[in-house]
């Protein structure tokens, strides 16, 4: 049996297929379960870029870091503008 000297990455979550809305739902649940106000924590992360605003519970921090902050912000603003009516 041959072993590689490269580190293998394993993730039970397929982030390639997860859209931003699903990601935010999961992060929201994780933050609520840990007793945080999700709005405050997510805004803090978007503004600062500091991943410590997001709990590592349920891999929420890992999920948030998989998406560029500008893509996340664009999705949020687009959703808001679409639902202004």
Does residue 60 sit within a domain?
A: yes
Does residue 49 sit within a domain?
A: yes
Q: What is the enclosing helix (H) or strand (E) of 24? A: helix 20-33
For the chain, 85 residues long, give each residue's pLDDT as a single digit of tens. Answer: 565 667 665 554 554 556 899 999 999 999 999 999 999 999 999 999 999 999 999 999 999 999 999 999 999 999 999 999 7
Look up the domain containing 60 and give its range: 20-82
Does residue 32 sit within a domain?
A: yes
Does residue 26 sit within a domain?
A: yes
The tokens describing 15, both together, are 């982030």
Residue with token string 């808001």: 80
Does residue 1 sit within a domain?
A: no
Does residue 5 sit within a domain?
A: no
The tokens describing 58, both together, are 């349920």
Does residue 3 sit within a domain?
A: no
CB 31 within 8 A of CB 54: yes
Say how many domains are in the chain.
1
pTM recorded for the entire structure: 0.76
Measured CA to CA in angstroms, residue 28 lies from 54, 58, 60 at distances of 10, 10, 8
């Amino acid at each position: 049996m041959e072993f590689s000297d490269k580190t293998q990455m394993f993730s039970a979550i397929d982030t390639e297929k997860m859209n931003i809305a699903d990601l935010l739902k999961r992060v929201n649940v994780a933050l609520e379960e840990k007793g945080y106000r999700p709005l405050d924590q997510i805004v803090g992360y978007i503004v600062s870029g500091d991943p410590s605003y997001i709990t590592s519970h349920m891999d929420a921090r890992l999920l948030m870091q998989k998406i560029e902050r500008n893509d996340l912000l664009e999705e949020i603003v687009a959703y808001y503008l679409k639902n202004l009516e």
